[in-house]
């Protein structure tokens, strides 16, 4: 069943962010929202996640779907290490098998020199990869990714894109990006957001 946003309106005080915005997202589709800063792309993700209510319009097809999200900020537990941050979303007891699994996920995104360090001590690009691994490992069938490649150099971006493509092949993904190459590396349909 597709997810549909129908005639969505949203303002924050006097600032109108979305005006009669509509979008259909097919099951298993990858969609990239692009447009100028402040145009409402993050608001679209927040409405899909149920974190923000539209002033008018409706969203259908999302109820009952398990969501995973990467926000513009990584929203990690700063005093916990990378393993602990990702283990929070897994329904497994801590074990050597779990640590081995997570180590494989971190290797897949090129994350190194992270073990035993609180994420507060990691670089921005390292934190971003921890946040992405956590979202993927949460096994949401519907992923919302706000600027997923922030802080990553080109080589790391390509590695992370490969990871996302392999781990989310059957998932629906809606992402926000400013760079058309980010959309292309995930094979996403581009939706240009305008006022």
Condensed to tens digits (0 to 9), the pLDDT of residues 26-62 reads 999 999 999 998 889 999 999 999 999 999 999 999 9
Q: Phi first, then psi: what are they for 135, rounded to 5°?
A: -65, -40
User: With 80 as the cut, is the pLDDT of residue 8 above it?
Assistant: yes
Decide: helix, strand or coil at residue 117: coil
pLDDT band (50, 70, 90) for residue 93? confident
pTM of full prediction above 0.95: no
pLDDT band (50, 70, 90) for residue 91? confident
Task: Enter the tokens of residue 144.
Answer: 């919302």
User: With 80 as the cut, is the pLDDT of residue 92 above it?
Assistant: no
Considering the four listed CATH numbers 3.30.565.10, 3.40.50.300, 3.50.50.60, 3.30.230.10, the one that applies to the domain covering 3-192 is: 3.40.50.300
Decide: helix, strand or coil at residue 176: strand
The whole-number pLDDT of residue 1 equals 85
The stretch 143-171 carries a mean pLDDT of: 94
User: With 90 as the cut, is the pLDDT of residue 194 above it?
Assistant: no
Decide: helix, strand or coil at residue 44: helix
**d(Cα 180, Cα 30) in Å, to the nearest integer?**
14
Domain boundaries, given as residue ranges, for the chain: 3-192
User: With 90 as the cut, is the pLDDT of residue 2 above it?
Assistant: yes
**d(Cα 43, Cα 57) in Å, to the nearest integer?**
14
Residue labelled with tokens 């209510």: 53
Contacts of 165 (CB under 8 A, 6+ apart): 185, 186, 187
């Amino acid at each position: 069943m597709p997810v549909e946003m129908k005639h969505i309106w949203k303002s924050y005080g006097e600032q109108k962010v979305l005006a009669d915005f509509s979008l259909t997202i097919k099951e298993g589709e990858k969609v990239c929202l692009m447009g100028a800063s402040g145009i409402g792309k993050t608001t679209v993700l927040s409405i899909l996640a149920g974190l923000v209510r539209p002033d008018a319009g409706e969203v259908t097809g999302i109820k009952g779907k398990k969501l995973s999200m990467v926000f513009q900020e990584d929203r990690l537990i700063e005093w916990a290490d990378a393993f602990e941050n990702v283990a929070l979303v897994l329904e497994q007891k801590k074990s050597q098998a779990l640590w081995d699994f997570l180590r494989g996920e971190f290797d897949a995104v090129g994350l190194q020199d992270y073990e035993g360090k609180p994420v507060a001590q990691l670089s921005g690009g390292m934190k971003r990869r921890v946040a992405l691994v956590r979202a993927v490992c949460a096994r949401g069938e519907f992923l919302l990714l706000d600027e997923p490649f922030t802080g990553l150099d080109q080589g790391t971006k390509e590695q992370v894109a490969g990871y996302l493509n392999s781990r989310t092949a059957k998932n629906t993904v809606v992402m926000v990006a400013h760079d058309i190459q980010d959309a292309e590396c995930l094979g996403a349909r581009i939706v240009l957001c305008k006022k």
